[in-house]
């Protein structure tokens, strides 16, 4: 969140990039298609692009990766007549997922998740999707090709994707990101399982911290997913003419997936809470055991040591010291005493 | 969940089995009946089946056990004109229970529960039910005959079942699975009771883990039951023409059962939480007792040992050592001191 | 719950008694009345009864105690034309309270509570009430006369009860049971108060268990009361012609009582949770005190004992041993040391 | 609650006083006014009163203090034609706050709070308010003049109160009681602050109990305030002709106050919970410190004592004893050992 | 809250300042503008101001800082015809944020937050905003220029602000305050992070208190933000003619920000709770470690000391003492014993 509020206090609609620059060069991928036609271009130097929209029966998809050049964003916005509040949100990279209908188009924010296995944290990246009839604009923070699977489907012409409108393409893009959530949560699940098995073997100092960080990570994931559920629900229920009736059943299916993911997140959180409770009672239990050992040793030897101390005293008149078998009697008594105490501990179930 | 996302990134409607194969051979059980007629067949080799639907006044019920052969599922889907999203859900075996109306039929997912007494976990199996006028398709992951009791009712012609439509058969199938939840929860209840009685006798290391796992099991059960309640509520309220008015009272009764089951799950969870609290305070209490024993022993003998050590010193000039009754006076004093401390402990309620 | 699922898997409407038989002989009490007329009969042998309904302007009330004879229940059901789902619920004695309107009558389930002072548990008994114009059937599990106070009111002709319809009688019966909840919760309150005062005096082993069981008891009570609230709300809002407008104000009053009772249960639960927290911190506090005593004793005497041990060594060359006042100097030093430590403890507020 | 259920099982509308008698003599204060006219009377002996209602453009306000004389209540009820359920609620002094519209008037229950500084508990008193056009009846349990401030406003003719109807007077009465909640919660806040500062200084035994009781007190306050909020919301939204439109803005203001009070109660509860957590971790922390002192002392002196014990043995052949500087070497070694241990503790941050 | 209830019991609409006076002199800043015109004045002595409203197509904005002079507030209220309940709320500085529509204008309360880095508390200041066509009145408690950024935008004529109505100015003012919440929460985030890193290094006494106070601070922030969300939602949905349609999209954007801020507050609270749990388990863990050291030392040396004590006894007949190598055998045995115990500890993972 650290970089966020560069824009604090600026007038609304100010296009200010609030993230930290994650890519050196902005790259733009362009795809134009209809059922029979496919054109694809990759621009590393965006100065050369002429943004345009082709005939409305075709679909133009610009995939912009890298958001730090706000002039470019503003230029795109101008070309395609996008509301300035949308442009502001695209480059303000700590937005909650949302679904917003504007007069001329629909704007969706979604957050892509990734699991960093080394630090066991979940990283998120904001993805902005703007579409209208025949045009889809996607804005990513990084170079990673989040939409690869969807793009391949377009390229291969598999499935319905080539014959449907922009709304179906947007659905497919969202679907790819939401499907990825399952993979991230599976990795979280693996970590939770490894934590559980470690927990039952030893109380390593680091387990606590790992559980704490995983919990924070799940909180972050939940913060991305909960509003997404709502946004996709509004997508499914929207009566906007940009969304064809035949797409609704698919968006509803996507909505089911987000519910399923929320369930998973909640159940991971519950499991993690259970582990923390288990961990705490594990520590308590071990402390108890340590205390028992201490108590047993002390309780046996302190009285014996006292007896030994007694007969180490230097009083002139200590008759026992002069008994012929005094020493042996005492040692025998000590054995009896220790044995009696051990027996008592056994009845108390401390041994 | 591990196998789940084989299908991640595939286009919607892709029929990909996401479970682990649980049966070697797919078996299909076929039942055709009306009030006066009954035909029954068991196929071990599904290649021989010609799927078909008889006259609409009869009911055809295909019970497919084993879902790994996606070609078979797709063939069935094609024969009976089932939406591809339904087929995808049938073989994607980690779905939440749901109720969905399609143009040509109704699709229900429910999860059958079973309690594994050895490991004290609840296992779940996905059951998909698709029906339309005169046709019921059920899809199970395993060979176990979940619907035996309902099938017997059809075979014996008992009750209303033979004279009613497909919706009533589906109700009966759901009822059998939901009734089984009660049995599973009873077994959970037995384990909770045994845990409680063990807890009050000793703090065995394993109790903590068992409670933890039972809690996870109840979470899993809840995850299956909570959305089911909602699904059955929608079943009861649906105005689909496939559901006859006379069936509604029964489905509402089924809905009451799911509420009752949720109550049971919640109360089991509460009881389990109570047990965990009890367990923790039990450990604290025992630690307290151990500490008291340690403290009493130490507090009595450490001063006595000190006194003994004093008179074990080798100073040339220690007059007490040469008193005739010095030793006896000291021993008497030690007894008094110990007695006084014991009395003090008693006033503090430590004994 | 143990006996519950005898009926699991049976077709709906199967009349199966799921409780444990609590009475040896079924007894039936019959009351027929209108404003000017009163007839009362007690049957110990139900074979002799001819169930019938008199002229509709009179009210017939059959109070059946003992539910294990399902044939009798079915016979009554047949005589008065009661839906089989109602009959099933009457003898399935683990139902949630509910309010259900059938075509020909209204069916209410309520659970009567009783507090067992010896074991400090709350026992519940299912009561089924079915009524239509001029007819009230009540079904209890045990012989105890739950409705005594309402019956007396009918017998004495006090209040409105003789001039009103079946709906008012049902209201009066529910009112008697709900009023009894207050008495039960008062007894729970007494136990909580006694627990609190005991808690502050000593940490007896049994307090934890008693608190645990009381908590479970309150959970059970809540499970009976929460759905009752809902059921009575539906009773109050029902527009069924069996319920006269003039009764609604009373049923709403009853509804207020159930809310008040839920409040009481919740506040008892909160108090109990508060007690458990208090108990835990009490244990921690006492442990702390025990540890302080241990630490003070150890910290004072261990260094002193060390010094004594030093001068008990047998080195040939230990000049201090031969000083004339060596012993006395050491003893004085020991007093000073002990005093200093005690002073230090006082500044640390350990004394 | 102890006296509550005297009325258990009685027919509805039975006027039974369920409180403990708090005043010896019932006193009634009577005020009659319109914009230009004011008449005031104080009756200690209610036998002398003739209850009546003057011309409808004037307002008659009877303030009855002391509720144990149910005959009086019934007489008033009869005179002014009050529904028996209202009369029952007036003398049943453990009601939840509520707002009820009857055919002829409106009945409101509110609970006045007071903070008992000595015992740090919140006491509540039920106040019943019944009004219709030109008539206001208020019923208090005790003699304390809760409505003094409102009465003074009437007497002085300040503000709108003299020119408005009965609904505005009722609003003013409720406002006085709700305003008093702020004072009570301020006193609770003072106690919480004093608890916090005490907590950080010492872990006195009594703090736990005080926190526990304060928590119970806040629970009680919440039980009085939460339903009040709802009741006043219904008051504000009511379309009863007894409530003038011009009063609504004030009642809505009152509603805002109840929300604000609920916020305060919740935030006090949260603060108190925070304090309890702080207290628990304080105890744990101190225990930790005590344990460290114990461990340091033990760890240093036990090995030293062992060494001293070694050279206190009486073996014939112990060459070290006869070294000239044996004693001094040993003492030096002991200093080194103790110093080394202290250094080790410092690296472990125990010192 | 301490000063709050000066006004308790006064008639509604009484203008009583309930805060503590925070500024010595009231200052008023006046701004009059339309698209082409700008007039600005600063009054330190408010006696000289003639409050007035210019032509309705211009906007007059009076920014009053300092609220203790209730006569001034009443005069302003009279001049601009403001409802007395609004005036009461303006000077009653512990209000919840709210949005209220009056006949002649709209009144909004919002609380400005500030983070005090030294004490790590969040301070709040009430801001009242009243507007109608062409007039905006803002009321602040302190001299700090909260609205500086918005004022600059007006002065520079940047953005839409000069061409829009009073509603847009109010939106801009609210936006400035809400944007500031992000900065405050960032500072809270910094403190949480520093707490986390400190926590993992040492368990300083003060960390607990800091966490406790930060939690209270977040509670306070939440108390200001939660009702604000609701107020702005009502602002966005209001159909008041004072709010132009073109402003709604901006107010909805503001609403999104408040939701985002609530999310942040909740996630900070969750993180803080996680830290507290971590802290507690940290303390437990360290206690466990301390206990292990204590137990190891005690368990090794207590038996050895006992043996040394044994052979320090002065019995006449102790044959071992006279063995030639008795001493050396004993010392060797002691080494073996200590080594064995260390090995046992290692198998128990205590070392």
- Whether residue C293 sits in one domain with residue C277: no
Q: Report helix, strand and coil shares of chain D as percent, to nearest 5.
A: 55, 15, 30
Over chain E, what is the mean pLDDT? 88
In a domain, B217, yes or no: yes
Question: What is the number of residues in chain B?
Answer: 351
Task: Tell me the per-residue pLDDT of C293-334, one tens digit each, with 9 for 90 and over.
Answer: 889 999 999 999 999 999 999 999 899 899 999 999 999 999
Label residue B24 exposed, middle or buried (CB < 10 Å: 0-12, 13-18, 19+): exposed
Last residue in a domain, options D257, D281, D305: D281
Could A271 and B216 be called an inter-chain contact, meaning their C-beta atoms sit closer than 8 Å?
Answer: yes
- Position A2 scores a pLDDT of 44
Interface check for A323 against chain B (CB to CB < 8 A): the answer is: no
Nearest CA of chain D to the CA of C179: how many Å? Answer: 5
- Whether residue C315 sits in one domain with residue C211: no
Nearest to B215 by CA among B279, B126, B122, B283: B122
In a domain, B287, yes or no: no
- Whether residue A298 sits in one domain with residue A229: no
Could D13 and C310 be called an inter-chain contact, meaning their C-beta atoms sit closer than 8 Å?
Answer: no
Determine how β-strand D27-33 pairs with β-strand D38-43: antiparallel
8-state DSSP, B94: T
Phi, psi of E336 (to 5 degrees): -60, -45
Window A:145-184, CB contacts with B under 8 Å: 149, 153, 158-161, 172, 175-176, 179-180, 182-183
DSSP letters for E300-329: HHHHHHHHHHHTT---S--GGGGSTTHHHH
- Whether residue C310 sits in one domain with residue C241: no
Interface check for D8 against chain E (CB to CB < 8 A): the answer is: no
Nearest CA of chain D to the CA of C3: how many Å? Answer: 33
- Nearest-by-CA chain E residue for D300: E297
- Whether residue E311 sits in one domain with residue E261: no
- Position C203 scores a pLDDT of 58
Question: Per-residue pLDDT for A61 more than 60?
Answer: yes
- Position C197 scores a pLDDT of 86
Last residue in a domain, options B231, B247, B281: B281
Interface check for E209 against chain A (CB to CB < 8 A): the answer is: no
Higher pLDDT, B144 or C128: C128
In a domain, A326, yes or no: yes
Residues 6+ apart with CB under 8 A from A195: A207, A210, A211, A214, A275
Higher pLDDT, A204 or A127: A127
- Whether residue D95 sits in one domain with residue D56: yes
Residues 6+ apart with CB under 8 A from B136: B59, B60, B61, B62, B129, B130, B166, B169, B170, B173
- On the CB side of D153, CA atoms within 13 Å amount to 22
Provide the angle, in degrees to the nearest 10, between the axes of the packed helices A245-310 and A205-237.
Answer: 160
Nearest to E89 by CA among C258, B281, D257: D257
Task: Tell me the per-residue pLDDT of D109-133, one tens digit each, with 9 for 90 and over.
Answer: 999 999 988 888 899 999 999 999 9
- Nearest-by-CA chain A residue for E274: A212
Question: Per-residue pLDDT for E3 more than 50?
Answer: no
Interface check for B315 against chain C (CB to CB < 8 A): the answer is: yes
Distance of CA C332 to the CA centre of its chain: 66
- Residues E103-131 have a mean pLDDT of 92
CA torsion angle for E80, E86, E91, E92 (degrees, to 10)? 180
* Binding partners of B (≥3 Cβ pairs within 8 A): A, C
- Position B2 scores a pLDDT of 44
- Position B32 scores a pLDDT of 92
- Nearest-by-CA chain C residue for B314: C312
- Whether residue A320 sits in one domain with residue A216: no
Local confidence band at D3 (pLDDT 50, 70, 90 cut-offs): very low
Local confidence band at C163 (pLDDT 50, 70, 90 cut-offs): confident
- Position E135 scores a pLDDT of 93
Q: Please report residues of E whose CB lies closer than 8 A to that of D113.
A: none
Distance of CA E126 to the CA centre of its chain: 14
Taking the C-alpha atoms of residue B152 and residue B166, their distance in angstroms, rounded to an integer, is: 16
- Nearest-by-CA chain E residue for D290: E287
We report the CATH number of the domain holding residue B184 as 3.30.460.20
- On the CB side of A332, CA atoms within 13 Å amount to 5
Q: Could you give the percent of chain D with pLDDT greater than 90?
A: 46
Among E208, E314, E322, whose Cβ lies nearest the Cβ of D282? E208
Structural domain of residue E165, as residue ranges? 4-281
- Position E2 scores a pLDDT of 44
Among B158, B270, B281, whose Cβ lies nearest the Cβ of C208? B281
- Residues A65-76 have a mean pLDDT of 90
Sheet (strand E38-43) strand order: E38-43, E27-33, E59-65, E135-140, E121-132, E106-116, E98-101
Could E298 and D303 be called an inter-chain contact, meaning their C-beta atoms sit closer than 8 Å?
Answer: no
Of A180-194, D74-88, D170-184, E191-205, which gets the smallest average pLDDT?
A: E191-205
- Whether residue B168 sits in one domain with residue B264: yes
Q: Please report residues of E whose CB lies closer than 8 A to that of A312.
A: 309, 312-314
Q: Could you give the percent of chain E with pLDDT greater than 70?
A: 95
Question: Per-residue pLDDT for D2 more than 50?
Answer: no
Task: Tell me the per-residue pLDDT of A3-39, one tens digit each, with 9 for 90 and over.
Answer: 455 566 677 778 888 877 777 788 999 999 988 889 9
Taking the C-alpha atoms of residue A96 and residue D342, their distance in angstroms, rounded to an integer, is: 54
Structural domains in chain C (count): 2
Could D287 and C282 be called an inter-chain contact, meaning their C-beta atoms sit closer than 8 Å?
Answer: no
* Binding partners of D (≥3 Cβ pairs within 8 A): C, E
- Nearest-by-CA chain A residue for B10: A149
Last residue in a domain, options B237, B252, B281: B281
- Position B94 scores a pLDDT of 84
- Whether residue D260 sits in one domain with residue D305: no
Nearest to B131 by CA among B91, B170, B74: B170
One digit per residue, the tens of pLDDT, for chain B of length 351 reads 444 555 666 777 788 888 777 777 889 999 999 888 899 988 887 777 778 877 778 999 999 999 888 889 999 999 999 998 899 999 988 888 999 998 889 999 999 999 988 888 899 999 999 999 999 999 998 888 899 888 888 888 767 888 888 999 999 999 999 989 988 998 999 999 899 888 877 656 688 888 998 998 999 899 899 999 999 999 999 989 999 988 888 999 899 999 999 999 999 999 999 998 888 888 888 888 888 888 899 999 999 999 999 999 999 989 989 999 999 999 999 999 999 999 998 888 777
- Position E184 scores a pLDDT of 92
- Position A331 scores a pLDDT of 93
Interface check for A79 against chain E (CB to CB < 8 A): the answer is: no
CB pairs under 8 A between D and E: 151
- Residues A250-273 have a mean pLDDT of 92
Interface check for C70 against chain D (CB to CB < 8 A): the answer is: no
For an interface test with D, which of C313, C326, C338, C348 has the most D Cβ atoms less than 10 Å from its Cβ? C313
Question: Per-residue pLDDT for A56 more than 60?
Answer: yes
In a domain, B286, yes or no: no
Question: Per-residue pLDDT for C109 more than 60?
Answer: yes
Place of tokens 């239990």: A285
Question: Per-residue pLDDT for E156 more than 60?
Answer: yes
Task: Tell me the per-residue pLDDT of C169-200, one tens digit each, with 9 for 90 and over.
Answer: 999 999 999 989 988 998 999 999 899 888 87
CB pairs under 8 A between A and E: 151
Question: Per-residue pLDDT for E298 more than 50?
Answer: yes
Q: Could you give the percent of chain A with pLDDT greater than 70?
A: 95
- Whether residue C151 sits in one domain with residue C54: yes
- Whether residue B256 sits in one domain with residue B193: yes
Question: Per-residue pLDDT for C159 more than 80?
Answer: no
pTM to 2 decimals? 0.82
We report the CATH number of the domain holding residue B314 as 1.20.58.340
Place of tokens 């006028």: B133
Of A49-53, D35-39, D139-143, E106-110, which gets the smallest average pLDDT?
A: A49-53
Nearest to D81 by CA among D39, D44, D130: D130
- Whether residue D180 sits in one domain with residue D80: yes
Determine how β-strand E38-43 pairs with β-strand E27-33: antiparallel
- Position D11 scores a pLDDT of 76
Over chain A, what is the mean pLDDT? 88
């Amino acid at each position: 969140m650290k970089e966020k509020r560069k824009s604090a206090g600026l007038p609304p609609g100010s296009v200010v990039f609030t993230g930290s620059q994650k890519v050196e060069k902005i790259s733009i991928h362009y795809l134009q298609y209809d059922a029979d036609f496919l054109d694809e271009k990759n621009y590393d130097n965006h100065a050369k692009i002429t943004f345009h929209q082709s005939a409305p029966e075709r679909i133009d998809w610009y995939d912009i990766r890298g958001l730090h050049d706000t002039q470019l964003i503003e230029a795109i916005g101008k070309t395609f007549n996008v509301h300035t509040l949308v442009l502001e949100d695209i480059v303000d990279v700590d937005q909650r997922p949302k679904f917003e209908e504007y007069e001329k188009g629909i704007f969706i924010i979604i957050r892509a998740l990734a699991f960093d296995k080394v630090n066991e944290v979940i990283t998120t990246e904001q993805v902005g999707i703007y579409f209208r009839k025949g045009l889809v604009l996607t804005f990513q923070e990084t170079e990673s090709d989040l939409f690869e699977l969807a793009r391949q489907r377009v390229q291969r012409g598999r499935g319905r994707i080539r014959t449907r409108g922009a709304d179906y393409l947007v659905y497919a893009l969202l679907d790819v990101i939401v499907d990825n959530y399952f993979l991230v949560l599976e990795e979280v699940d693996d970590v939770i399982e490894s934590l559980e098995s470690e927990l039952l073997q030893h109380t390593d100092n680091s387990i606590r911290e790992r559980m704490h960080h995983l919990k924070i990570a799940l909180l972050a994931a939940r913060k991305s997913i909960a509003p997404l559920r709502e946004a996709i629900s509004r997508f499914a229920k929207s009566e906007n003419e940009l969304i064809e009736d035949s797409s609704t059943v698919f968006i509803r299916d996507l909505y089911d997936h987000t519910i399923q993911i929320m369930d998973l997140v909640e159940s991971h959180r519950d499991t993690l809470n259970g582990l923390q409770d288990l961990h705490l009672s594990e520590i308590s239990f071990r402390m108890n055991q340590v205390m028992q050992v201490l108590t047993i040793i002390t309780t046996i030897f302190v009285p014996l040591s006292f007896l030994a101390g007694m007969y180490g005293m230097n009083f002139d008149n200590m008759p026992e010291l002069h008994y012929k078998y005094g020493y042996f009697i005492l040692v025998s008594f000590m054995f009896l005493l220790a044995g009696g105490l051990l027996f008592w501990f056994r009845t108390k179930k401390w041994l």
